[in-house]
Chains A and B, each alone.
Chain A
Amino acid sequence: MCGSHGSLELAYDEYRNQLLDAGLLLGSGVSGVYGLSGTFEGVIEAFEKLITRHGSPLNPEVMRFPPILNRKTYLSTDHIETMPDLMGSVHTFKGDQRAHLKLMQKKHADEDWTTELAPSDVMMVPAACYPLYPTAADSILPEEGRLVDLRAFVFRHEPSPDPARMQIFRQREFVKLGTPEQAHAHRDYWLEKGQEILTSVGLQVEAIIANDPFFGRGGRVMAATQQEQALKFELVTAVASEEKLTAISSSNCHLDHFGKEFNIKTSDGNDAHTACIGFGLERIALALFKKHGLDPDKWSPEVRGILEI
């Protein structure tokens, strides 16, 4: 076990250093927080356009939300119950001149100055689909349901040496709101479509039943339940490590969880079911660099052709 863990750490360090040395990632001094070079960003843009070419025939509604969301919306999801260790709460300074002086004194004395801060109205977005649901709250869906195309930076507090485990990264998602059958069909369609898209750019992916990283021992019950019901699938491939594959896309069936919480009804009056497919854009770029090399100019004509780069 020790050896295996050690080799995994080595693989993370090796790939991360390659990316930093090549200037594709720009270090920030914090694990899992990077700037990206123009080349890296160019690959993400090209891949996103590929997704758009596959998704737009379905005529989704396109929405873009910022990486922060209403604190009240955050509390309407059960994220604080299920994944409290991953949350990001945005705090700010709201005090007067005297309080500011105290803040400065603490900062200069190298004391904990954050105790002088207060919560703002916003939280970091933990998943790209969260800001969508309040916009559909208290509504009745059309008979065919709704399909929404989303992209957002999402935050997860999980500092890691694995370059593929960033604390803030982009998810491109397609979310279906509809009947249980429509949600399932969406999940099944995109699970296959996702494999097709990723395979088309030379990535070998495998679909596995997965679970969210629920917190604590109680989280194991939730994880087991999610696995037993096969609610979450991940498409995994080798990124930093061949031995521990990395999820680059995932599809979740949320059942009526968000439909109930946000009072979204189907046309027949039942609580709406939702399902989403998400593509982890930075991870997909990292998988492409790993597979085809760090210089996209040298990728095969086939892959460049599919990505139109």
Chain B
Amino acid sequence: MHIDKIRVILSAHGRLTQPVDKLDDNSDLYQAGLTSLATVGLMLALEDEFDIEFPDSVLSRKTFGSIETIADTVEDLLD
């Protein structure tokens, strides 16, 4: 699973108002302070880390809504 890596990236790029280790995998990241601008940095960092490219079809608010949804998308793109 890539959850741990995602948590590290989220911590570095998410500019959240709460520490990432206080969040559950399904916590709402927008509630935790994720802005759409920070989402861009998060997306680019995820792409670099996992050597993937998010296609237009997943570039939505929902994709970055929780650690779980990010992990699901990353998993799909790695398959």
Per-residue interface assignment for chain A, residues 165 to 183, with 1 indicating a CB less than 8 Å from any chain B CB and 0 otherwise: 0000000000000000000
In the complex, the answer to whether B61 meets A81 with C-beta atoms within 8 Å is no
- Whether a CB of chain B sits under 8 angstroms from the CB of A229 is yes
- Whether a CB of chain B sits under 8 angstroms from the CB of A226 is yes
CA distance A253 to B56 in the complex (A): 24
List chain A residues, Cβ under 8 A from B63.
Answer: 221
**Residues of chain A in range 180-229 having any CB-CB distance to chain B below 8 Å:** 217-222, 224-226, 228-229
In the complex, the answer to whether B44 meets A218 with C-beta atoms within 8 Å is yes
Residue picked from B40, B43, B63, most chain A C-beta under 10 Å: B40
Residue picked from B37, B41, B56, most chain A C-beta under 10 Å: B37
- Whether a CB of chain B sits under 8 angstroms from the CB of A82 is yes
List chain A residues, Cβ under 8 A from B39.
Answer: 218, 221-222, 225
CA distance A221 to B63 in the complex (A): 9
- Whether a CB of chain A sits under 8 angstroms from the CB of B59 is yes
Known A221-B39, A221-B61, A228-B60; further 15 A-B contacts with Cβ < 8 A: A81-B37, A217-B43, A217-B59, A218-B39, A218-B43, A221-B36, A221-B63, A222-B39, A222-B40, A224-B59, A224-B60, A225-B61, A228-B61, A228-B62, A229-B61
Q: Please list the residues of chain B having a beta carbon within 8 angstroms of any beta carbon in chain A.
A: 36-37, 39-41, 43-44, 54, 56, 59-64
CA distance A218 to B47 in the complex (A): 11
Contact partner of B40 among A221, A226, A229, CB < 8 A?
A221
List chain A residues, Cβ under 8 A from B60.
Answer: 221, 224-225, 228
List chain B residues, Cβ under 8 A from A82.
Answer: 37
CA distance A169 to B57 in the complex (A): 34
Contact partner of B37 among A78, A217, A228, A229, CB < 8 A?
A78
Q: A218-B43, A218-B44, A221-B64 are in contact. Are A226 and B59 (CB under 8 A)?
A: no
Q: A218-B43, A218-B44 are in contact. Are A226 and B37 (CB under 8 A)?
A: no
